[in-house]
Structure 1
Amino acid sequence: MLKKIAYITLFALSLTSCSDALDDINKNPNATETPLAPYLLTGTLKQGADLYWGSANNFDSSLLFVQHWAKIQYTEPDRYDVSNASFTTLWNTGYATLITDLNTILNFPEAQANSNYKGIALTLRSWTFLLLTDAYGSIPYKEAGLKVTPAYNTQKEVYTGLLEDLKRAQSLLNTANGTVTGDLSYKGDISKWKKLVNSLRLRIALRISDKEPALAKQAAIEASTDAAGVLSSNSDTFKFTYISSPQQNPASAWFETRDDYRISKTMVDKLKALSDPRLPVYAQLPSDAIVGTYVGGGNGLSNSAANSQGFAKTSKPGTYFLTSTSPAVLVSYSEVLFNLSEAAARGYIAGDAEQLYKSAITASFNQFGITDAATIAAYLNQPTVQYDATNYAKSIGTQKWIAFFGQGLDAFTEWRRLDYPVLTAGPDTVLERKIPSRFFYPGTEQSLNGASYQAAVSVQGKDLLTTKLWFDVK
């Protein structure tokens, strides 16, 4: 009997031992048992910067659409000869990584994340949703992360919801509410996060201005008069600064092994016409020294026509954008000044629209290391640069397009909204000489969330690159 009990005990212990061994085998040695708010914040900032500045959403799509960059080989994206598979990265990373991790912070108890972490998380989640709706239109918003097959919200619903989310973020952020670590953008400076919140509120106010002017005016007033202020200098710019490989700027990593892109001829020609001192920042001289001047690549060319321009005879984007430590600028001081200028021009807020416009251009020059007062004054005094109060959209739209160089997603949105500068599709493009107005939804939405996808498309319009979004009224 005692022997039998001993066998049973030994068998039970062996089962327990096996179970423990299996548990150990199935553990990821590189993962934390409990996610920590600082690590999630660091990861979100890095992955968000990669998403914004990386190839799929920036230099292989939106930078081509707004003719900041051009393809010199493998020109299909520059001719808009793409499928919905080309636009999955923003959607998948936005939802599965950024929003998921930020929701984790928001759902932490106070002991794991103080209200400043939650205010930052809500700000970053709002920024992510803003990128998604600007690119696709209607998106899962209210049910995102709550249901396997979330319903889509219209773009109007998303924008108005984000204005409320950012109000809540502002209320959560307070220097008395505890310290924040893991913040690689603002180093835990809560006052700068509060400025960013108001700057995003102002950005959204202008997104809705042509469709909901009363709400836009209210939002612009609230954002610009809030005690926390908006971004007030280049030192407030929201950016992620990269380090050396393998954590370098995505464009730098790309050009280490490939040579697919040139600065667009459209941009080079505009900068030359304006004698713009940002040209040597935005572009490199061709490697063929005989050329001796900056030469942009044509957009929307066939592979053979693009190749024939000459790899050595055309200008790559400037080294400022292609070094390992080049920052990923996400919201610039210059953009905020342009937005204040437009809000004043629309009569939403008090202020001198012309002076704010000049200050915005100056801030852009300073951002790229151009600080000589005489150089800036000479540029601003050109008739082709001077502010036109009778057509503020042309003045602001053109200069904002230049200042946004490299920030493809936001340049693409603002170009669609303001309709300046006037761009022409390249000769070999496939959309009947139209430039895209949005991104395709990923194909997985049709197969995995088909009912919600179909309901959204029935309201918004066909899932085509040329379908105009709600904010894009012209």
Structure 2
Amino acid sequence: MLKKLSYTILFALALSSCSDTLDDINKNPNATETPLAPYLLTGTLKQGADLYWGDANNFNSTLLFVQHWAKIQYTEPDRYDVSNASFTSLWDKGYATLITDLNTIIKFPDAQANSNYKGIALSLRSWTFLLLTDAYGSIPYKEAGQNVTPAYNTQKEVYTGLLEDLKQAQSLLNAANGSITGDLVYKGDIVKWKKFVNSLRLRIALRISDREPALAKQAAIEATSDAAGVISSESETFKFTYTSSPQQNPASAWFETRDDFRISKTMVDQLDALSDPRLPVFAQLPSDASVGKYVGGANGLSNSDANSQGFAKTSKPGTYFLTSASPAVIASYSETLFNLAEAAARGYISGDAEQYYKNAITASFIQFGVTNPTTISTYLNQASVKYDASNYAKSIGTQKWIAFFGQGLDAFTEWRRLDYPVLTAGPATVLDGKIPSRLFYPGTEQSLNGASYKAAVAEQGKDVLTTKLWFDVK
């Protein structure tokens, strides 16, 4: 009996020792036990820029839809021959990485994160939700991160909810509430963060303008009359600046090993017609020196037809976008001025819509390094560029489409909303002559959140690329 008791005690001790050892083995000695707000902020800024500027959501999808870029080989995305596995990264990383980490900051006790960290986190979370609803439509919003099978909210509910979230973010941001570190965009400048928040509020006001004009007007007035103001100079543009490999611009990394994109013929033709000095910034001359001019690739071609255009005879996107340190622009001064122009044109705010429009084009020129006043004045005075008050959507939509070059997700949204310029699907596209109006939901939503997914589709419309979203009324 004593021997049996001894064996039992020894066995229990061995199990205890083994468990302790395994626990120690499974600990990462380089990982912090408690997440820190500065590190989470740095991580979400970098990962958010990668998500916005990278291949899956930008140059291999939305930049093709709006005909900024085109494919010269592997043309399936340019022909819209894609599946619901093609658009998972925006959803998966948006929810599982960005929103999760930002929620962590928001929920920190004050001792771990002052109100400025929380205001920044709330503004970045709002931006992430905005990208998601702009792309997919109805999305999990109110229950996101709180339920393993969250219900979807309609696009109207998301937009109106984000306007309230951004009001809260604005109230949390105050330079007197403590400094922040880990901010790779504004370097802890709370005044600039407050301007970014107001600029997002103005952006959302215009998203809902064709559906909820009264609320849109109220939101535009609140955003522009807030004491902090909106983005008001190039130095306040919200952008993530990359460095060198491995922290390099995603497009730069792509072009180091692949050669399957060209600037779109649609864009080159438009810039040529306007004698636009941004063309040498947006495009490279073909490597075949005998061509001697910028040549865009046509969108929506079969692989063989795309190849036959000639790799050496067509123009790659400009090196401005393809260096390791090329910035990921997320909210530009130019965009804010275009938004002010539209808000004034709609009668939401006071101000001269035409002057805002001219200032927006000028800001875009400066953003891309075109600074000669005579060059800018000559461009603005062309009949085809002058502001048309009778069709502000055409004037603003066309120039905004150009200024958004490289920012696929927002260019795609604004093109659907303003309906300019008029784009035509390529000859080998598979949507009966239509251009996509949204992204597919990831297939995992059907298998892991099926009831909520089905309810969202029943309300919004079929989960296909051509279903128009709530904000897209035409």
Q: Does TM-score exceed 0.5, indicating one fold?
A: yes
**Is 1:388 aligned with 2:394?**
no
Partner of 2:278: 278
Mapped partners of 1:309, 1:245: distance in 2: 32
- Give the match for residue 442 of structure 1: 442
The 2-side partners of 1:4 and 1:442 are apart by 58
Kindly provide the amino acid, as one letter, of the partner of residue 462 in structure 2.
Answer: K
Question: CA shift at 1:12, angstroms?
Answer: 6.0
Residue of structure 1 in register with 2:256 after alignment: 256
Q: For 1:365-398, what per-residue CA distance to the aligned partner results, in whole angstroms no more than 9, with x for missing partners?
A: 0001111100000000000000000000000000
Q: Does 1:465 find its partner at 2:457?
A: no
1:297 aligns with 2:294: no
**2:160 counterpart SS class:** helix
Alignment of 1:414-425 (within 5 A): 414-425=414-425
- Pairing of 1:262-411 with structure 2 (within 5 A): 262-411=262-411
Residue 4 of structure 1 deviates from its aligned partner by 10
Tell me by how many angstroms 1:325 deviates. 0.2
For 2:188, the aligned partner's letter is: G
Return the offset for 1:26: 1.0
Q: CA deviation at 1:451?
A: 0.5
In structure 2, distance between residues paired with 1:322 and 1:419: 29
Q: Which residue of the partner structure matches residue 201 of structure 2?
A: 201
In structure 2, C-alpha distance between the alignment counterparts of 1:152 and 1:18, rounded to whole Å: 45
Task: Return the alpha-carbon distance in structure 1 between the equivalents of residues 31 and 90 of structure 2.
Answer: 25
Shift of 1:110: 0.6
In 2: Cα distance, 1:236 partner to 1:45 partner: 16
Q: Which residue of 2 aligns with 1:137?
A: 137
Q: CA deviation at 1:6?
A: 9.3
Shift of residue 400, structure 1, vs aligned partner: 0.2
Q: 1:21: Cα distance to partner?
A: 1.2
Q: What per-residue deviation string (whole Å, max 9, x for no partner) do you get for residues 136-178 of structure 1?
A: 0000000000000000000000000000000000000000111
* 1:10-89 to 2 correspondences below 5 Å: 14-89=14-89
Q: Tell me which amino acid in the other structure corresponds to 1:101.
A: D
Q: Distance in 2 between matches of 1:214 and 1:259?
A: 48
Distance in structure 2 (CA, Å) of the matches to 1:59 and 1:4: 70
Q: Deviations over 1:429-458 (max 9, x none)?
A: 000010000000000001110110010001
Q: 1:15 to 1:241 in 2, by over 3 A?
A: same
Q: Deviations over 1:187-229 (max 9, x none)?
A: 0110000000000000000000000000000000000000010
- Take 2:411 and 2:192, find their aligned partners in 1: how far apart are those partners? 23
Q: 1:9 and 1:226 mapped to 2: Cα distance? A: 71
Pair 1:214 & 2:214 matched: yes
SS at match of 2:85: helix
2:370 partner letter: I
Secondary structure of the residue that 1:196 maps to in structure 2? helix
Give TM-score scaled by structure 1 length: 0.98
SS at match of 1:435: coil
1:72-99: per-residue Cα shift (whole Å, max 9, x none)? Answer: 0000000000000001010000000000
Question: Are 1:224 and 2:229 matched, yes or no?
Answer: no
- 1:18 deviates by 2.4
Report deviation, 1:24.
1.1
Equivalent position amino acid for 1:466 in 2: T
Shift of 1:30: 3.5
- Name the residue aligned to 1:190: 190
Shift, 1:17, TM fit: 3.2
Cα deviation for residue 9 of structure 1 reads 7.7
What code does the residue aligned with 1:358 have? K
For 2:329, the aligned partner's letter is: V
The alignment partner of 1:329 has SS state of strand
Give, in whole Å, the separation in 1 of the partners of 2:230 and 2:65: 29
Q: Deviations over 1:11-55 (max 9, x none)?
A: 665544322211111112342111110000000000000000010
Distance in 2 separating the partners of 1:38 and 1:113: 9
Distance in structure 2 (CA, Å) of the matches to 1:144 and 1:82? 27
RMSD: 1.5
Cα deviations across residues 299-330 of structure 1 (Å, max 9, x unaligned)?
A: 00000000000000000000000000000000
Shift of 1:58: 0.2
Query: Match for residue 455 of structure 1?
Result: 455
Distance 2:196 2:357 in 1: 20
| Separation in 2, partners of 1:471, 1:15 | 61
Name the amino acid aligned to 1:219. A
- Measure, in 2, the Cα distance between the counterparts of 1:409 and 1:20: 49
What letter corresponds to residue 418 of structure 2 in structure 1?
L
Give every structure 1 segment of 4 or more consecutive aligned residues whose post-TM-superposition deviation is greater than 3 Å: 1-17
| Inter-partner Cα distance in structure 2 for 1:31 and 1:231 | 37
User: What is the CA–CA distance in structure 1 between the aligned matches of 2:466 and 2:9, rounded to whole Å?
Assistant: 71
User: Which amino acid in the other structure matches residue 405 of structure 1?
Assistant: F
TM-score, length-normalised on structure 2?
0.98
Give the Cα separation in 2 of the matches to 1:376 and 1:295.
Answer: 24
Q: Measure how far apart 1:7 and its partner are.
A: 8.4
2:256 match: secondary structure: helix
User: What's the counterpart of residue 235 of structure 1?
Assistant: 235
Q: What runs of 5+ residues in structure 1 fail to find an aligned partner?
A: none
CA distance in 1, matches of 2:359, 2:21: 65
Letter in 2 for 1:372: N
* Structure 2: distance between partners of 1:173 and 1:423: 41
SS of 1:86's partner is: coil
Q: SS of 2:87's equivalent?
A: helix
Aligned to 2:110, what secondary structure does the other structure show? coil
Secondary structure class of the residue paired with 1:70: strand
Q: Aligned AA for 1:425?
A: A
**What are the Cα deviations for residues 47-76 of structure 1, in whole angstroms up to 9, with x where unaligned?**
000000010000010000000000000000
Q: Structure 2: 5+ residue runs without aligned partners?
A: none
> Aligned to 2:86, what secondary structure does the other structure show?
helix
- Once the 2 structures are TM-superposed, how far is the Cα of residue 253 of structure 1 from its aligned partner? 0.2
Helix, strand or coil: the match of 2:391? helix
Amino acid at match of 1:144: A
Number of residue-to-residue matches in the alignment: 474
Separation in 1, partners of 2:257, 2:422: 34
Looking at structure 1, the residues matched to 65 and 422 of structure 2 have their Cα atoms a distance apart, in angstroms, of 12
